[in-house]
Structure 1
């Protein structure tokens, strides 16, 4: 049986389509590794290569984030019209299974690692069930090294993405991770992680540990980091800001090869932090935290969400001043997006503030709800102001070329990323079409 994994593409010219740095989703390669060897597996990510509409596989498996779901449905409908059965899964299908079922023969809710072989068997027999859901969360010992050979040879910036844990112990209002993993946090055996690191075809390059929180289980993290010290690899990860309060962990991270940490600062307003439920964060500690991490030669890639209830139009200039002052190495600067399945979506829906459920606009660059202390247009314009301002030549030079920054080893990652974003954001802004205006 020929199984085709498909990742729908972003609309041409959209915010994410124009970015040069493209990364592959890990889920298809993980499931490909769990596919019985007698079956043929192929893979198409429309973001790096076109989908051949004349393909006739025996089974199509589509995974899509919320803004890519409409394109995923188009692909599913196309294959089903030719008599090819389609399975849909991922975060959006898990949160909107009835919607996904209108376009698929089967919908997988939640993780699929432990039932994937059963799904493949049912498809081979022509006995697909309408809905599949594991009886329990995935046993992390069952996850094999991802089958990265399915990825195209060109198109991705790099493909060395590895998960050592799943889930997050925190429950932020806007986060889809909690909705998908149910607030669980599970660790993968370090020996298995080591095997996957050793299996990488480009193991001397960078690794991105895709865990939502690499350090939530200290014992597991320490064991992993001591193991990584032996490899002399360079890598980046995600961790809470509280890591800066732990000098021993910071030193271990540096010794183990960490070049950058993605940190969810989320807001510079304490009231917003309280509404979000971001219990790990203290705005008063942000500047000291960044300094401590920088002092260990580790770059800081900060996430800040714009448009929360206590944000005013002043928030954009406030952030840009903060970023320059503290030499933030890189940043993810989305507009608040109330994804289905999250608590923020339920709250805004109850308050009558959701303006559209056209999922194509749920791209973290488009305002789809009514803010409290600014208009839709002010938030939308502010989004572009803060992104183009941060990823400008002037800001990049001020942040990365000051005496305290220039020798930081993390610049090998962050300098190309910053300069690559400058033209991409300009191009995306020119082709941007808002969901709603004048509100």
Structure 2
């Protein structure tokens, strides 16, 4: 039997991390990376597993001395902290393994600090390693020859996480994306053929999350609707589970823009209580979209990008988006076009990033051939891409100014009010047949929202140190109450939006005040999602989470 510790390093403050908002809401971290509980579930029962997420608890290196195996996983934005942790572990002469998104694309990055390296998915290689380790025959590098059969993936060990410390839970329905975006490492890691779990697996995971007190979940799939035909019966089963249990969970996820073309699919997502979708818009510049092979965003069917976004919003799903600046077809005009797009599309939350070329992607290979790749590890301009139609200084300065303007209170709340107040946005879930038939359920949710509104308003007024921002929040909240007095559920969501604004606003101004810290910390992962959200996580880190790009 082995005693195993698996570590997820601390993240730097990030767009999707919502670190400053979490403190207002009483949480320590946004959500757990999906790799930790999944790797624990893949570990044979005779071994002891400890999960350590540095985002919610400090690492006690002394207590790790009695571990036989210590695994460290992480995304590109975590690589500096990963190196510090690995160095400390190695100085103590401990047996260390590493995997995850960063190691998958830069497997030699940590050199002799690592005893065993895992590349890509690990449903097969992790148990194989443990078997070989027990007999002293383990290899120093593992990579699966075939993509994981998703029907074999076990229910993650959510019981080993400190779930109360997270704002969200994480779960996964599928892997892979059918599209071919040049900058995206998701299709490199997971492939272009979407692979989907069986409904029974997903329902078992929902039961596990519910049993451990998780009420809000992020579905980390990089494109939930990559295979529309196959995902529909899965969503129908999840919707039935929600109805049978009185809708105990709320979800958000990632999807491609062609969601707008399928009303049946949107209805199924609404019935599952998926209330928001992150969409990789990337650019309002169609030449840039064609350049990066994001053809799904320039198809004529459904109208312009703004019209497609509005169709999803009008249906009752909120749209968050990812935007990128720095494509070859981008001129300095792109910054104003991005800001105008967000206003026209009524998108409140936009993760704007500098284009970054991730190793093993087509973009990385092309720019390397063209001599337009900064191959140093810490990039003074926040990206390793050397732009074609503007200087690196102009790209960075334009990016920072775009972020500043987009998250100035007036700009942010004008976009929010355009959707929620002027156009009367209402989440589709409350218009479904189930909620029409079950008035007691509507009353239950009404009570929850009202209590939540009072608590969040109190926390905003006590927790935001900037008196000017507090005044803006008060004015905007009371304006929302007057405008939507007949829809009190909106009050709670509006206070959440204020907390999120505080995070985005503070993070943006911190970047502008000290850009040297920003480019050092984020130089190799300007496009991190979900994290997700980034949002990517996203989007499994030895079984990789969504890394520094998303193709949806």
TM-score, structure 1 normalization = 0.90
Q: CA deviation at 1:296?
A: 1.5
| Alignment CA distance shift 1:387-1:350 (3 Å) | same
Q: How many residues align?
A: 431
Q: CA deviation at 1:4?
A: 1.1
Give the structure with higher Rg (CA).
2
Q: Which has the higher helix share?
A: 2
**What does the per-residue CA deviation read over 1:80-109, in whole Å, with 9 as the maximum and x for residues that have no partner?**
232211111112212222334432111111
Distance across 1 between alignment mates of 2:90 and 2:366: 36
**What does the per-residue CA deviation read over 1:303-339, in whole Å, with 9 as the maximum and x for residues that have no partner?**
1111111111221121112211221131111111111
Hey, what does 1:40 align to over in structure 2?
Answer: 48
**What does the per-residue CA deviation read over 1:184-211, in whole Å, with 9 as the maximum and x for residues that have no partner?**
3211101110110111146672221111
Distance across 2 between alignment mates of 1:407 and 1:177: 32
Single out whichever of 87-96 and 203-212 deviates more from structure 2.
203-212
Hey, what does 2:174 align to over in structure 1?
Answer: 165
The gaps in structure 1 that reach 5 residues or longer are: none
Hey, what does 2:257 align to over in structure 1?
Answer: 241
| Alignment CA distance shift 1:154-1:248 (3 Å) | closer
Is residue 104 from structure 1 mapped to residue 122 from structure 2 by the alignment?
no
> Is 1:67–1:361's contact at 8 Å kept on the other side of the alignment?
no
Alignment partner of 1:212 out of 222, 227, 232:
222
| Alignment CA distance shift 1:405-1:46 (3 Å) | farther
Distance across 1 between alignment mates of 2:276 and 2:262: 16
Hey, what does 2:363 align to over in structure 1?
Answer: 344
**What does the per-residue CA deviation read over 1:111-151, in whole Å, with 9 as the maximum and x for residues that have no partner?**
10122222123334444311112231111111112112333
Hey, what does 1:263 align to over in structure 2?
Answer: 279
Which fold has the larger relative contact order, with Cα–Cα distance below 8 Å and residues 6 or more apart in sequence?
2
| Alignment CA distance shift 1:256-1:114 (3 Å) | same
- Counterparts of residues 1-400 of structure 1 (less than 5 Å): 1-11=2-12, 19-20=19-20, 22-54=30-62, 55-56=64-65, 57-153=67-163, 155-158=165-168, 160-200=169-209, 201=211, 205-230=215-240, 231=242, 232=247, 233-282=249-298, 285-358=304-377, 361=379, 366-400=382-416
Q: CA deviation at 1:14?
A: 6.8
The gaps in structure 2 that reach 5 residues or longer are: 23-29, 429-489, 524-552
CA RMSD, aligned part only?
2.5
| Alignment CA distance shift 1:414-1:167 (3 Å) | farther
Hey, what does 1:427 align to over in structure 2?
Answer: 510
**What does the per-residue CA deviation read over 1:144-168, in whole Å, with 9 as the maximum and x for residues that have no partner?**
121123333554322x211111111
| Alignment CA distance shift 1:361-1:127 (3 Å) | farther
TM-score, structure 2 normalization = 0.73
Q: CA deviation at 1:254?
A: 2.2
| Alignment CA distance shift 1:315-1:65 (3 Å) | same
